């Protein structure tokens, strides 16, 4: 498969995975609200039968509905921001904001593996001119790879740092590697090359998987254009530090 | 008052678990909640449940595996899946594993109650069929004219079915 096709297919798969996971979460919120509304009806029916209305329970349910509505709104906003990352192939990105959104978007991925998350962001703002969708895809792929490499209940570390010429993102697992997804690992250099960056695979002190992404301040000129608008077919050099 | 139906409710979404548990408790169900597959399997080993209502997508042991283990370890327990993530392939796998019903969230309580009632009905039917089969076997195996032996076997069967 050509690298253009691979980039397109993996991009779609990432988009699908995030939207499926988020629609599932939103559905959960709807199910909770539906049950809470049903519980209110149950309590009203009891009151209609002559029992004193349980006002405190009504207040409690009302608060819980409010909490779920806020939770749903927040999810929809994040999903909407994520969908808009596809609007422009290149834009100025505040890396902390991008990663905070991605952490929320990937919550289900971590919950399913019962992973804890530790983050470290710099105090200064790091602005990059890059492709926000592909950047999120790269970091999400790293999270998937690290989580899949070991058992459940892992501690996942995400570190954003400024480095000469751009930024560095480290995604690392605490536990020793049990298995690696070679296909996903071999796609990362292609994706990083598209962003003008590179990926390094490092083993942590206790044998855990650590992936370090180096991203330049600005993407290569050719990569700034949508794949379809490039004058000559895009051919990645295939070189990587992996 | 009649005994309540012992229901095991399994979901990793605690708010959902609490609310639906309250609603079913108001309708003559004796509900025990578990917020993971592991907890559900453990709870079913400690006490007997007649029906289990199980979510599919949970961290750790997922709903399909819970269904498989519950059906293997508890002969007459009926399992109903209640999921926010319904799909044909998983519904087929669950059917093969002996699920009674496969519902999607959000689900109207009336629909859920109907499925729970039908599941309980199947449990009673299965128990009766099992009892009949066993009775036929006892009668065919024992030597004609030994009422004491038949009585002993019937007593054993009665004990087993309690």
| Segment A52-91, tens digit of pLDDT | 888 899 999 999 999 999 999 999 999 999 999 988 889 9
Q: Does A32 touch chain B (CB under 8 A)?
A: yes
CA distance A62 to A56: 10
Map residue B77 onto helix, strand or coil. Answer: coil
Cross-chain residue pair B84–A27, CB shorter than 8 Å:
yes
ipTM: 0.81
Is A36's pLDDT higher than 50? yes
Average pLDDT of the residues in A123-143: 95
The pTM of the full predicted model, rounded to 2 decimals, is: 0.82
Query: What does pLDDT average to in each consecutive run of 10 residues of chain B (162 residues)?
Result: 88 94 94 96 97 94 96 96 90 96 94 96 94 83 72 78 63
CA distance B54 to B63: 6
* Residues A120, A124, A129: CA angle, nearest 5 degrees: 95
Q: Contact A16/B69 with Cβ under 8 angstroms? A: no
> Looking at residue A170, what is its pLDDT?
96
User: Of A27, A30, A32, which is closest to B19 when you measure between CB atoms?
Assistant: A32
> Looking at residue B21, what is its pLDDT?
96
Q: Does A16 touch chain B (CB under 8 A)?
A: no
pLDDT digits 0-9 by tens, A169-214: 999 998 888 888 888 888 999 999 999 999 999 877 778 889 999 9
């Amino acid at each position: 498969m050509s690298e253009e096709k691979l980039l397109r297919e993996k991009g779609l798969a990432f988009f699908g995975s995030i939207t499926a996971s988020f629609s599932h979460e939103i559905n959960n919120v709807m199910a909770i609200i539906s049950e809470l509304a049903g519980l209110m009806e149950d309590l009203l029916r009891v009151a209609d039968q002559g029992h004193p209305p349980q006002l405190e329970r009504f207040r409690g349910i009302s608060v819980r509905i409010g909490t779920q509505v806020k939770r749903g709104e927040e999810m929809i906003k994040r999903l909407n921001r994520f969908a808009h990352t596809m609007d422009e192939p290149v834009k100025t990105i505040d890396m902390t904001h991008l990663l905070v959104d991605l952490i929320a978007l990937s919550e289900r991925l971590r919950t399913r593996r019962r992973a804890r998350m530790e983050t470290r962001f710099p105090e200064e703002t790091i602005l990059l001119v890059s492709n926000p969708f592909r950047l999120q895809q790269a970091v999400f792929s790293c999270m998937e790879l690290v989580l899949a490499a070991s058992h459940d209940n892992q501690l996942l570390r995400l570190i954003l740092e400024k480095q000469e010429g751009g930024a560095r993102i480290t995604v690392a697992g605490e536990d020793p590697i049990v298995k690696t997804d070679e296909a996903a690992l071999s796609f990362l250099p292609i994706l990083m090359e598209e962003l003008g960056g590179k990926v390094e695979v490092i083993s942590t002190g206790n044998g855990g998987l650590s992936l370090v992404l180096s991203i330049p301040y600005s993407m290569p000129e050719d990569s700034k254009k949508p794949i379809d608008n490039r004058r000559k077919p895009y051919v990645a050099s295939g070189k990587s530090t992996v | 008052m009649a005994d309540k139906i012992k229901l095991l409710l399994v979901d990793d979404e605690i708010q959902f678990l609490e609310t639906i548990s309250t609603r079913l408790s108001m309708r003559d169900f004796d509900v025990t909640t578990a917020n993971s597959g592991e907890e559900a399997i453990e709870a079913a080993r400690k006490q007997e449940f007649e029906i289990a209502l199980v979510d599919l997508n949970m961290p750790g042991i997922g709903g399909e595996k819970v269904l498989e283990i519950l059906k293997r370890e508890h002969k007459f327990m009926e399992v109903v899946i209640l999921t926010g993530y319904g799909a044909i392939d998983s519904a087929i796998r669950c059917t093969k594993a002996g699920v009674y019903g496969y519902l999607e969230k959000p689900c109207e309580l009336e629909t859920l109650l109907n499925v729970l009632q039908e599941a309980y009905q199947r449990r009673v039917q299965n128990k009766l069929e099992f009892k009949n089969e066993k009775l036929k076997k006892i009668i065919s195996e024992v030597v004609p004219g030994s009422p004491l032996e038949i009585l002993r076997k019937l007593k054993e069967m009665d004990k087993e079915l309690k």
